Amino acid sequence: EPEVTQTPSHQVTQMGQEVILRCVPISNHLYFYWYRQILGQKVEFLVSFYNNEISEKSEIFDDQFSVERPDGSNFTLKIRSTKLEDSAMYFCASIRDRAPLNSGNTIYFGEGSWLTVV
Amino acid sequence: KNQVEQSPQSLIILEGKNCTLQCNYTVSPFSNLRWYKQDTGRGPVSLTIMTFSENTKSNGRYTATLDADTKQSSLHITASQLSDSASYICVVSAGQAGTALIFGKGTTLSVSS
C-alpha cells in the first residue's frame, strides 16, 4: 500500500517562530495538497499544488503560508510567523492524475503533523 | 454556499450490529463524493469514491449510496467491529476541475462490546 509520509509527527513552537512541515508524497503522484484540522473541528483545505505551482488556495492560506517542492520529492508547508490559532493537525495529501478529482481517483493522506503553538 | 452536513453527530452501537450514516450536501457543480474513515489522531483513509453516475459502491463491510437528485449519500456498515470505532467523514468534490474538497464534520462512531 503506497503511503504519504510526514515529518515531524509533532512539533511545539513559540508564537512568532517559523515552522516548516515536510511531506513526501507517493512517488508517481502529480497533485499535492495541504489540509489542516483544528482539534475537534472538520478538515479544512489550505492549498493544492501541481507542476511546481499553486493551483488553488483557500482564504486560510494567507501570506504567512507558503509551499514549495524543493527537490522533486519533498513537499513543504512553511508558516512564517506562527500564531496561537495555527495550532492544528496538518495533513499532506497526494493524488496520481492531472485531473484527479473528476476521475474519482483515491486521494492519499499522510498521518499528519501536529503543530502546537505556545 | 457549498456545504456538507452529516448526521448523526455521534453514534454508539453494539458490536455486530449494523448502522447507517447520513450525508447531505449542497455543492455545485458536483464532481464526486467520498467517504473517509479517520481514527483519532490519524490521517483520513479512503473508503469509497462515487462519481455522478454511481448509485452504490461497496468496500467490504462498507456500502455507500448516492442519490444525486436529492443530494444525499449514506454509508452503511454491516456487522460492526470494535475497530470500526472512528470518525467517518463525507467529502464532496466541487468545481469544474473538482479541486475543491468540501469536508463534512464527520460522524463519530463508537462500537462497544
Classify A41 as helix, strand or coil: coil
Residues B92, B51: Cα–Cα separation, whole Å? 10
**Minimal C-alpha gap between A53 and chain B (Å):** 14
Give the one of B31, B51, B100 whose C-beta lies nearest to A45's C-beta: B100
Q: State the average pLDDT over residues B8-21.
A: 97
Q: Is B93 in Cβ contact with A101 (below 8 Å)? A: yes
Please give the pLDDT value at position A101: 54
Please give the pLDDT value at position A5: 94
Q: Please check the confidence at residue A30 and state whether its pLDDT lies above 90.
A: no
Q: Is B101 in Cβ contact with A45 (below 8 Å)? A: yes
pLDDT per position as a tens digit, B18-54: 999 999 999 888 888 999 999 988 888 989 988 888 8
Please give the pLDDT value at position B58: 94
Q: Please check the confidence at residue A103 and state whether its pLDDT lies above 60.
A: no
Residue in A with minimal Cα distance to B98 = A101
B97 or B90, which is more confident? B90
Give the one of A4, A104, A109 whose C-beta lies nearest to B32's C-beta: A104
Q: Please check the confidence at residue B94 and state whether its pLDDT lies above 60.
A: yes
Residues B15, B30: Cα–Cα separation, whole Å? 35
Q: Which of 21-40 (B) contact A at CB < 8 A?
A: 31-32, 34, 36
**Minimal C-alpha gap between A96 and chain B (Å):** 13
Residues B13, B101: Cα–Cα separation, whole Å? 30
**Minimal C-alpha gap between A102 and chain B (Å):** 6
- Which residues in chain B have Cβ-Cβ distances shorter than 8 Å to A104? 32, 49-51
The set of residues, in sequence order, having a beta carbon less than 8 Å from that of A80 and lying 6+ positions away, is: A18, A63, A64, A65, A66
Q: Which of 40-79 (A) contact B at CB < 8 A?
A: 41-45, 48, 55-56
B11 or B1, which is more confident? B11
Q: State the average pLDDT over residues B82-90.
A: 96
Q: Which of 54-83 (B) contact A at CB < 8 A?
A: none
A27 or A13, which is more confident? A13
Taking every pair of C-alpha atoms in chain B, what is the biggest distance, in angstroms?
A: 45
Q: State the average pLDDT over residues B86-104.
A: 79
- Which residues in chain A have Cβ-Cβ distances shorter than 8 Å to B68? none
